[in-house]
Homo-oligomer: A and B are copies of this chain.
Amino acid sequence: MKKTILVDMDGVLSDVYAWLFDMHQRQTGHRLTIDDVAGKLEGEAFPEQLKLVAEPGFFRNLPVMQGSREGLRKLNDRHKVVIVSLATEFPYSLTDKQLWLNENFPFISWRQVVLCGDKQLVKAEIMIDDHLKNLDNFQGETLMFSQPHNLLIKNSRHRRVESWEEIEKLLLF
């Protein structure tokens, strides 16, 4: 049955951590490991690098999450996909995020995008997200996409998924 699925951007479609690890290494000469940052929110683990989120350009050039293009395309063929991202806090992120989506996910129409300040306002049946602040407030089925900051969370009601391949298996069969 066709369902409405909210798909998060940062940490699900865009690989924010890949950028953060690289930028930290470039700036300090030292490469952090997953263990160094596991369980810390992005702003705790990369305080210097995260200061850039309010600047024009930060969200324009993030790398695409491995497997997300193929996975989202299949999801989009079968379900009603809505891309939803917390973005209004940083006005310059808004244009950057839409241009990034248009470039990297051209099969997603602008009609399927919601850039907002509170995901609770959006109607849907399934949410794919990496952050508890979004997942915990969602009424429907939740998939928690594994990212370093959520690795230590155990026994939540959210089903953990490690990759886009795993999302495909869950939602396409």
Chain B contacts of A109 at CB under 8 A?
117
Copies of this chain, tallied across the complex: 2
State in angstroms the CA–CA spacing of A121 and B80 once bound together: 11
Instruction: Looking at the assembled complex, report how far the CB atom of A2 sits from the nearest CB atom of chain B, in whole angstroms.
Output: 15
Query: How big is the A interface, by class?
Result: 20 to 34
With known contacts A117-B112, A118-B111, A123-B121, A88–B98 Cβ distance under 8 A: yes
State in angstroms the CA–CA spacing of A95 and B98 once bound together: 10
- Say whether A91 contacts B99, CB under 8 Å: yes
State in angstroms the CA–CA spacing of A20 and B91 once bound together: 25
Instruction: Looking at the assembled complex, report how far the CB atom of A36 sits from the nearest CB atom of chain B, in whole angstroms.
Output: 31
Chain B contacts of A124 at CB under 8 A?
121
A residues within 8 Å of B by Cβ?
82, 87-89, 91-92, 94-95, 97-99, 102, 109-118, 120-124
